[in-house]
Amino acid sequence: MRKLEGLSASPGIAVAPVFCFREEKTAAIPKYRIDSADIETQWKRFQTALEQSREEILLLKDDRNKFQSEILEAHLMMLSDPEFIPQIHADLKSKKLNVENILKNKIDETTAVLRASGDTYLAERAVDIEDAFGRVMNHLLQDGTAKTAVDSIDRFVPPGTILAAKNLKPSEALALKDAEIAGILLEEGGATSHVAILARTWRIPAVMGLRGILGLLSDGMEIVLDADDGLVIIDPPADVLSFYRSRSDAKRKKDTGEKTGSGPKRKKLPAVTTDGAAISLRANIALADEVRDAKEKGAEGVGLFRSEYLFLGSDVLPDEETQFAVYREVVKNLDGYPAVIRTLDAGADKMLHEQAVLEEKNPLLGWRAIRYSIDHRDMFSAQLRALLRASNYGDLRIMFPMISNMEELDIVLEIFEDVKASCVKNRIPFNKNVKTGIMIEVPSAATCADLFAKKVDFMSIGTNDLIQYTMAVDRENPKVAYLYDYYNPAVLRLIKRTITAGKRSGVEVSMCGEMAGDPGAVFLLIGMGLRTFSMAPVFISAVRDLIRKVSVEEAAELAEAAMEMSAAREIKKLIQGKIKSYE
């Protein structure tokens, strides 16, 4: 038996035969010189191939699937890139080589720069460029020897297998939607890659960052994929296979509601501890139509609406009316429950075009979120005005992301007051008592949470960024991913400090990071004083089940013991042991 650790990209467990997807050899790219008279002919060939590729992508787009649509929309934008495309024409004139060779060299040159940047996000965009312009290349190669991944991968991956590959292009990942595979394991990739997002959307267990694993696997070999813990087990003995099959069956029954009292009946039960403490469970969503699913899962409102998805995937930013219509729909459909809408949080892994062209060395530490909004006051004011107008239709709350110091918050609140005054002057109706809050996602904000609590109505802990900034770790980098752990004592102390600051000031503190969807972490956090959690709707039932089994007194004892420990592994062991006692 051999265990390998990677990055958990999509939770779940699979015990199945493996299918190794090895990259096919690409067709040889011809290279020959052309005369000046042939330049425009070659350019027209390129333009025709571009248009054919765009038409293919439009046929594949399905607006009902937001992630698929976003990926293909990004490819369409690349095929209209105002810098890349004209350079092909310029190189045809200066180098006088056939367009296939010019395109190949340009792709190689661009992707090499991105991969050498040291930034995981930019490296993953290199895959997108190869995928998008790979279509163009296929149309240029008239002999048909090159095949697009969309035409091939889903046809030969056997159903029920775990797909193993070095990496997958977005188009290849899209083709797997209906392939009925049991899981995905990749040598490369990270938690924010398109493959990871799609795997989570389709609930396919996936582990990434397993460098060199293809050399250890062969088709048909039965393996264990434990994506809950980021593990792959090769050559598992019979007892290990039996253990993981049982775990897999138990998860499947729980997810599909096969147990008595589960499914629709279970979700209606309140999230109340055994000693009567009511816990509020809300949903993280990105689109207005996701409210329905959140309500079906039993969410008591929306704790995080990611407004940036209105801004991404288009060269034209949404105007005030477009935003107002979306925010109003979210609020009205929540039937009085709160809707916490985060202002634009673009940057890092979700870039607007203006941010992308900067090619910042480290976009995670750069011009993102509230920093970008402050520099674009007209855009920011339009968003705030749309939010204020929508607040007239229900319990809408406005949340500002990536606040790192008090001066920044003061600027934001000044802009907000100016927009409110403008609404009053123009007799635009809005909720005069609309609540405003901030994300606590950088250590400086957590350290000064007591000061921020004096100026806001609520604070929401965003653990995804808080962990990265506290531990100085890129969670998508497999070399240092072991440091990305919300059970780390330093992270827990910042969280505890924020909760305590909110309680002393009478300000609600919630959590909307991935930690909020982990039942074990919720147990610990209840003991630390947290009472409001927001998570992906799919995790609500499991979190509620755990809450109904425990008491605040037990949670407080657990938290007290955990805060005395010096290592994340000790804290996790403590929590896991306690949870097992309730099973």
- H-run or E-run covering 547: helix 540-547
Give the C-alpha separation, 251 to 13, whole Å. 8
> With 0-12 CB in 10 A as exposed, 13-18 as middle and 19+ as buried, what is 17?
middle
Q: Which fold has domain 2-23+150-256?
A: Glucose Oxidase; domain 1 (3.50.30)
CB 45 within 8 Å of CB 188: no
CB 301 within 8 Å of CB 308: no
CB 176 within 8 Å of CB 153: yes
Q: Which two tokens stand for residue 512?
A: 């909307």
Q: Which two tokens stand for residue 467?
A: 């962990």
Q: Say whether domain 269-551 belongs to CATH 3.20.20.60.
A: yes
Give the C-alpha separation, 233 to 243, whole Å. 12
Using one digit for the tens of pLDDT, what is the confidence trace for 119-146? 555 666 777 788 788 888 888 886 433 3
- Residue pointed to by tokens 């929306």: 302
Give the C-alpha separation, 393 to 391, whole Å. 5
The CA–CA distances, whole Å, from 32 to 38, 45, 95, 99 equal: 12, 15, 11, 9
Give the C-alpha separation, 20 to 11, whole Å. 21
Q: What is the pTM of this model?
A: 0.62
Q: Which two tokens stand for residue 110?
A: 């661009």
Report DSSP state, residue 279. -
Give the per-residue pLDDT at 60. 61
Spell out the residues 6+ positions from residue 140 whose beta carbon is closer than 8 angstroms to its own. Answer: 45, 46, 49, 99, 100, 103
Closest CA to 400 of 429, 420, 372, 360: 372
Give the per-residue pLDDT at 149. 37
Main-chain dihedrals φ then ψ at residue 473, nearest 5 degrees: -140, 135
Give the per-residue pLDDT at 526. 98
Thinking of the domain 36-146, which architecture would CATH place it in?
Orthogonal Bundle (1.10)
The CA–CA distances, whole Å, from 438 to 24, 340, 345, 390, 582 equal: 49, 10, 12, 19, 36
Q: Which two tokens stand for residue 301?
A: 């409102």
Spell out the residues 6+ positions from residue 291 whose beta carbon is closer than 8 angstroms to its own. Answer: 283, 285, 302, 329, 330, 333, 334
Give the per-residue pLDDT at 520. 93
HSE value, Cβ hemisphere, 13 Å, CA-based, for 327: 32
Give the per-residue pLDDT at 199. 81
Using one digit for the tens of pLDDT, what is the confidence trace for 347-384? 544 445 544 444 555 666 777 789 989 988 999 999 99
Give the C-alpha separation, 91 to 120, whole Å. 29
Active site residue 423: no
Give the per-residue pLDDT at 417. 97
Give the per-residue pLDDT at 98. 92
Pairing of strands 222-226, 13-21: antiparallel
Query: DSSP string of 87-123?
Result: HHHHHHHHH-B-HHHHHHHHHHHHHHHHHTT--HHHH
Rg (CA), the chain: 25
Question: What residue ranges do the domains of the chain occupy?
Answer: 2-23+150-256, 36-146, 269-551
With vertex at residue 235, the alpha carbon angle to CA 231 and CA 236, rounded to the nearest 5 degrees, is: 65
Give the C-alpha separation, 179 to 567, whole Å. 41
Active site residue 512: yes
The sheet that has 7-10: what strands, in order across it? Answer: 2-5, 231-234, 222-226, 13-21, 162-165, 183-186, 206-208, 7-10
> What pairs with residue 436 in β-bridges?
398
Catalytic residue among 20, 139, 194, 448: 194
All residue ranges of the chain with pLDDT < 70 are 23-27, 59-71, 116-124, 142-155, 170-171, 174-175, 177, 190-194, 201, 252-268, 312-316, 347-364, 475-479, 481, 583
Give the per-residue pLDDT at 484. 82
Give the per-residue pLDDT at 478. 60
CB 285 within 8 Å of CB 305: yes
Spell out the residues 6+ positions from residue 108 whose beta carbon is closer than 8 angstroms to its own. Answer: none
